[in-house]
Amino acid sequence: MSETLNKTTGPVDNSHSPNSYYRALSGEAAKLTSGFWAHRQAVNHKVSLKHGYAMLNKAGNIHNLKLAAGLESGNFRGINFYDETVYKWLEGLGWELGRAPDEELQALADEVISLIAAAQQPNGYLNSYYQVVEPERKWADLDFSHELYCAGHLIQAAIAFKRAVNDERLLEIACHFADHIESVFGFGKKEAACGHPEIEMALVELSRLTGEERYLHLAQFFLDQRGKKKMQGLGANGPEYHQDHVAIREADGVDGHAVRQMYLATAVADLYMETGEQALLETSQRLWEDMTRGKMYITGGIGSRYDGESFGESYELPADQCYCETCAAIGSFFWNWRMLLISGESRYADLMERLLYNGILSSPGLDGVSFFYVNPLMLRNGRYVRLSANPPEEQKSSGRPEWHKVACCPSNTMRLRASLSSYFVTSNDAGFQIHQYSNMAISFKDSQITVETEYPWDGQIKITVTESSDKPWALALRVPGWCQNFGMKINGQDANGSLQKGYVTLERIWKAGDVLEANFAMSPFLVEADPRIDSVRNCVAIQRGPIVYCLEEHDQESGVNLLDIMIDTGAEIISRRQPELLGSVVTLETTGYLSDRSTWQENNLYRPVASEIKKTSSDRKLNLIAIPYYAWGNRGLKSMRVWIPRAPE
């Protein structure tokens, strides 16, 4: 591998972390070249990041930093944690400039980095709200001040610029702030933690970048402050809202505010990679099992309650009133990436895939300038007051809002898309592993390969070796959890590799021109939920490959109410490629029935049940058309549902 590739890494660099099964590859070692995800990266580059800059100016985030720098006068605008949106957007800008240099984006970066430098106080402190509005209350209300939370996002933005484009300006600011934080917090100093976890994983990564173990120790300090039940909570939510209800090593399940829980779980996994403390790994495994066994939606989304944006009880997963905040899904993605690096187990990559194509991808509109904050699995009559974090009167009934008063989700999607290739491939001493499939060019030591595929619409993967050393090395491919049948060929001959931890590994002396072809059979199938999920009992969802589908009113017969639809679970499901629909998708068609409601008396909501429940002769047969769940809401908001009642036998 070239010297440049050794120096450039993505958001996580565990190359020297002793407790890792896989190593994250350089950000330049795996590049998306075309196809599904490369197109979305291009939209992020050309449209979303520039839109983000415009919105940050419009909402006042940039203005607030100018106030702190003494460059403007006026009143502070927005909420006390508005700086974090600037930092997350800036992180996305850093990764994107490393991926595809751009003079216009570079000018925006130069402007905002200079502004942040001007706003920083001589002692290193940096938070526009507490510098302008309440300077006497710095570090006074850690439950809700978000000072450390904002600092964490600043650190991550600084890491992006250093790793992606070797720009240290933001890193100097971030280290100065981190040093100030270290002077304030610690044993024998201020012993407390932030109400919103984030600083912990940022400090671990800063330690990895700089080699300064004191940042790692500070991250551990903040983790160890949790569980003392000092934080007041919010509304009906107690200290679990702030992740202060239980000591980290004693937690037996996910609880409280979903985003906070995910960011904290990510930091626990990060800290394990560095320290090897078994209790931290055991905590991570318990939390993951609890989440995936009873507190996660089919899309990978998490957070079933409005109240506190929080997890509910196990199996409390309402389809129509779920919260499923985009940031929670992205936080889960980050956490699962660390768990994959630690364990090498495909179940974590499977969940990352589920999130990528469903729970995360449903947030940004196809236009790149509109975003859902929450992601319900059912919408009645095109109305859902929580589609935005804004008050209902600020929403647009036509679809996704262009921004939010709390704009954490749009900026989060931007930074993830810009760094996406960092999560697709890893390496170890034997070779490298492909976890997510896309058209890519991959470099590993002295070897190079290209990947060609129509994934996620087609399960055929073609891998061509373009350059190779004369020594044997291993190539491992994840077998997707949804796949029931697969086959592999090398140069046209059947290949039988070893199957371990959900990966097929093929080791040989590869030569330039060798072609590996994998075929993961991709047919539509129906999914049912654990019957303890009361809200979707006797319903099914439709999935094809990694993509969960939904019915949207736009595609059904005119006048059909989605509340009256049932699906024939024995009918064939037909796949149709639709290049002109919703940015090119595969739609699914099957048979359903429209329930005859005429037997209900007009004013009756309830009635005695008939002795026999069956499909009546008056139920009308109809054709159902399903689209990828991620694409809903791009043609205006109308009714939508993922879970469909079964038609009686």
Catalytic residue ranges: 309, 408
Please provide the DSSP assignment of 600-621 as one string. S-TT-S--PPPSS----TTSEE
For residue 474, the cross-strand partners are 431, 507
Q: How many CB atoms lie within 10 A of CB 109?
A: 24
Measured in whole angstroms, the distance separating CA 527 from the mean position of its chain's CA atoms is: 22
DSSP alpha helices (H): ranges in 230-305?
Answer: 258-275, 278-294
Cα angle 27, 361, 444 (rounded to 5 degrees) comes to 20
Contact 223, 204 (CB under 8 A): no
Q: Are 128 and 67 in contact (CB under 8 A)?
A: yes
Radius of gyration of the chain (CA): 25
Q: Are 111 and 157 in contact (CB under 8 A)?
A: no
SS (H, E, C) 219-235: HHHHHHCCCCCCCCCEC
3-state secondary structure of 115: helix
Query: How would you classify the pairing of strands 547-552 and 640-641?
Result: antiparallel
Side-chain-facing half-sphere of 271: CA atoms under 13 Å: 30
Q: What residues are paired with 463 via a beta bridge? A: 451, 516
Helices (H) and strands (E) in the chain, counts: 16, 23
DSSP annotation string for 520-562: E---EEEE---TT-GGGTTEEEEEETTEEEEEEGGGSPTT--G
Tokens 């660390």 locate to 338
Ramachandran angles phi, psi of 494, nearest 5° = -55, 135
Q: At what angle do helices 408-418 and 326-343 cross, to 10 degrees?
A: 40
Tokens in use for 557?
């017969």
Nearest in space to 362 (alpha carbons), one of 370, 44, 350:
370
Q: What is the distance between the alpha carbons of residues 366 and 40, in angstroms, rounded to a whole number? A: 9
Rounded to 5°, the CA angle 138-139-143 comes to: 125
**Cis peptide, bond prior to residue 456, ω within 30 of zero:** yes
Integer distance in angstroms from the first to the last C-alpha of the chain? 60
Residue 374, SS3?
strand
Q: How far apart are CA 479 and CA 422, in angstroms?
A: 19
CA angle in degrees (0–180, nearest 5) for 62-68-74: 75
